Structure 1
């Protein structure tokens, strides 16, 4: 059946009369369906649902009518949903009921108050769709304060009298949030919407289909053997206690919080092992990061250093009239007479002291790189992946270790191949 152009124009007018919202229009031999669905809460721009239907015959018009009806149903469903719970309220309930570590909760609170609530907090949870989230993440990756591109002066104080010269105010320069930070923000929103779905507040969790920033591949940069030797020598020159801490970080791959939380009762010098079960985070002693209790074997040189360290601390505490017990911390940063080794070394203080030491030596490194050094040295020496993963406290049966240290695992595999080849009987060339 053919339809004349005049008939099509009549159909357009009739269709438009029947459609108080939305439109169907001719675009280059196709039909474009368009319906206003609201404003983007992130950018403030109008959002339209659109679709292109190939052809301009009656069948194409019928499909366009069906698509417009589908769009209307979708928009009406959003507007007439039973629950009007805001995302901000849902986040508050999720944070109140979910079980997360204290340090993680503190980090999440910061992201919620600084970034999520000002933009999406008042939006009904049912309207937080994949497009809204992807728009939000894109804005954060462009500029963390989501500026509109217009130049302005950043003020350091928001209330009261303000002196730009005194406060050293400066022109705004866009600074994007790191991809890892945006992924954490996504985790908060996703966890909230998942809970809202379970509680019957919304019908589905759109965060499941929203596209997040890609996770950056790990790029460990351990110090070289020569740099490691210079670092540990400098550490012992500074003081013996600090030297032992740096040495232990190198030889065991312990995390800084694990080093700070280490007590003498966790070190069995006769069995030559460390029973690692505690971590120090934000002024609190807690379980290890992966909630695993692991035992790390010690080499004879490390055992000898720890014996000397233990004797030194015992003499020091007794000389100050303090009783030495195995419950004391192995490392401390305080020199208070009555608190010597009763309080642990602050993880932040350890990081800063190490960074200052490396800077003096003109070595571009950081404390966590000693953990990388321990792992890569073991893998390069041919130690198997599960053993290295166990010493580092990685979960997943070595999957994390393989992901982070893939290049060194490959080098270890090459060494294994050469060893095996050297043991095979030699074949004379033909």
Structure 2
């Protein structure tokens, strides 16, 4: 039997292909490609193919079939184009999709994407971010062309080489570096990163389900890694003092930045977005209105993380530090014949402070300072230091949450800094116990 046609297009057909029987049913027009969509599945017997065809007819009648052959890559791209996202969030999602999702499951049709495939994908990422599956290989520095795996980069004097070539030299004395390809070492992807990747896939498939492209979302049932417990690691009091002293020794502007970051607990983006119009030194307050970030080579100013501005108080010492910072800014402007602008940024490498510092440059400079002092820390740890010091001193949780810009009325603060809240609770218990007289 070559093929057996049904009476109408809506009833489909069964055709013989070698030793198999294929059930085919027309399912309408693909909303993505605009082409005709057919449901196909093969079976070993004609009776089984008839059962499959009957299932197809029921699915199309109930609209429970996949209405497109679009891939997961197409779906994620459509979701990113239509979903309202911050530029920084969009760039982050696109980076995860390009590096991790597209090479593995990006070309998978939506109708064939199963929950098991997603869970296996997440498990592979948790074992190794390169999905090496335990196979050793060499991580080449240069992809796509031949090269020497071990290369000596000699220190050469500036200018053109002499006529007879460079004279021989001692590589150790000159500080020449050796760059070579190395054996791959498995680096598991963090649980938090895998959860973000899952969120991208789940959100895109939820949109596809809403658009009618698929009948159900396989990512809804996929098991993902457990969210890691927050573990802030602030510098100790001695380390904080050493960091501030080292920052002041470098230069006054850098010392002011580290000081303000430590006493306010501001996020890096909030700190760099501060302008002099946001600093009311007479009343001792700072107004946090915006964030400054750099995305794909562009400087962007946007709302705060909670999309609300806030006022925080600063102490007299910090007010004096900021007054000295303003005096140096005024003197610098006078030296180049430009009046100081009130809209200038507090922290800038520009003589007129008309543009903020580069966020990555600030983090790298802080990291180098920590490495020089032998302290394992990062810039965001200053925010942790501010929060933990306040909570340990018994400051109200809601007041700390307000200074940090946490939403949820302190729920985020409590979740992240639970250990230090517990210390404050212990101190409260000791205060109450000391005021009571034990009966004899």
TM-score range, shorter chain: 0.7 to 0.9
Aligned pair partner of 2:290 in 264, 278, 283: 278
Name the counterpart of 1:410: 422
Q: In terms of mean alpha carbon deviation, does 249-258 or 283-292 score higher? A: 283-292
Q: Does 1:184 align with 2:207?
A: no
For 2:325 and 2:137, how far apart are their aligned partners in 1? 56
Name the counterpart of 2:266: 254
Aligned pair partner of 1:287 in 303, 319, 325: 303
Name the counterpart of 2:94: 109
Name the counterpart of 2:336: 320
For 1:183 and 1:206, how far apart are their aligned partners in 2? 15
Deviation at 1:154, TM superposition (A): 2.2
For 1:73 and 1:217, how far apart are their aligned partners in 2? 46
Q: Does 1:351 align with 2:363?
A: yes
Name the counterpart of 1:58: none
For 2:67 and 2:335, how far apart are their aligned partners in 1? 72
Q: Does 1:194 align with 2:179?
A: no
Name the counterpart of 1:160: 145
Q: Secondary structure at the match of 1:233?
A: helix
Distance 1:145 1:321, change over 3 A: same
Alpha-carbon displacement from aligned partner over 1:402-425 (angstroms, at most 9, x marks no partner): 11100000111111122223334x
Q: What is the TM-score of this pair, normalised by structure 2?
A: 0.76
CA RMSD, 1 decimal: 2.3
Deviation at 1:170, TM superposition (A): 2.1
Q: Does 1:299 align with 2:315?
A: yes
Gaps of 5+ in 1: 1-19, 22-68
For 1:290 and 1:107, how far apart are their aligned partners in 2? 19
Deviation at 1:110, TM superposition (A): 1.4
Name the counterpart of 1:151: 136
For 2:359 and 2:66, how far apart are their aligned partners in 1? 49
Q: Does 1:142 align with 2:142?
A: no
Distance 1:232 1:150, change over 3 A: closer
Alpha-carbon displacement from aligned partner over 1:257-302 (angstroms, at most 9, x marks no partner): 1111110000011121101011111122211122221111111111
Q: In terms of mean alpha carbon deviation, does 402-411 or 121-130 score higher? A: 121-130
Q: Secondary structure at the match of 1:279?
A: strand
Name the counterpart of 2:376: 364
Deviation at 1:157, TM superposition (A): 2.6
Q: Does 1:174 align with 2:186?
A: yes
Name the counterpart of 1:83: 68
For 1:171 and 1:360, how far apart are their aligned partners in 2? 30
Q: What is the TM-score of this pair, normalised by structure 1?
A: 0.78
For 1:379 and 1:80, how far apart are their aligned partners in 2? 55
Gaps of 5+ in 2: 1-19, 22-50, 152-178
Q: How does 1:23-38 map to 2 (within 5 A)?
A: none
Alpha-carbon displacement from aligned partner over 1:58-96 (angstroms, at most 9, x marks no partner): xxxxxxxxxxx99x969x979963322211111110010
Spell out structure 1 runs of 4+ moving beyond 4 A: 76-80
Name the counterpart of 1:219: 231
Distance 1:176 1:77, change over 3 A: farther
Q: Secondary structure at the match of 1:296?
A: strand
For 2:65 and 2:217, how far apart are their aligned partners in 1? 18
Q: How does 1:86-97 map to 2 (within 5 A)?
A: 86-97=71-82
For 1:207 and 1:148, how far apart are their aligned partners in 2? 23
